Amino acid sequence: ILPNPKDFLTFDYFSPWKGEQQMYKLDIGWPKIPEYFTGQTFCVAVDSLHGLVYVGQRGDNVPKVLVFSEEGYFLYSWNNTVEMPHGIFVLNTATDSSVWITDVGTGMHGANTRSWEENANIADTTLNN
């Protein structure tokens, strides 16, 4: 028997190790235009300080990093310095705001961990094989 699709409209995830604290809740209206997801979504990070959601995706001829507002509106993407995103993390301190991406690609931009400024400019390369 297949599950009823309506059951997924109210999906909540609770952490078993945090005493039933709700971790996240499915929002079927996010993003506003899901057609922007043209590759395999591989990693997501939220910049709650600036209200941004970064999505790393893999695939041929797709933007590798998509940036959305917290409400799900597409803002911009970049593709020219990321090959195969594997992990993504947002760092906000009193003096720095950056996005860190682990890239496991094998080409010119792959096999490294880099930080980007909010405007998609490379700020630093920290590890390169």
Judge whether residue 122 has pLDDT over 80.
Answer: no
C-beta separation of 14 from 21 below 8 A: yes
Domain 29-128 belongs in CATH node 2.120.10.30: yes
Q: Where are the domains of the chain?
A: 29-128
Q: How many helices (H) and strands (E) does the chain have?
A: 0, 10
pTM of the entire predicted model: 0.75
Burial class (CB in 10 A: 0-12, 13-18, 19+), 10: exposed
> Other CB atoms closer than 10 Å to residue 114's CB: what's the count?
20
- pLDDT by residue (tens digit) across 43-92? 999 998 889 999 999 998 899 999 999 999 999 988 777 888 899 999 88
User: Could you tell me if 125 and 116 are in contact, meaning their C-beta atoms sit under 8 angstroms apart?
Assistant: no
What pLDDT score was predicted for residue 68?
Answer: 95
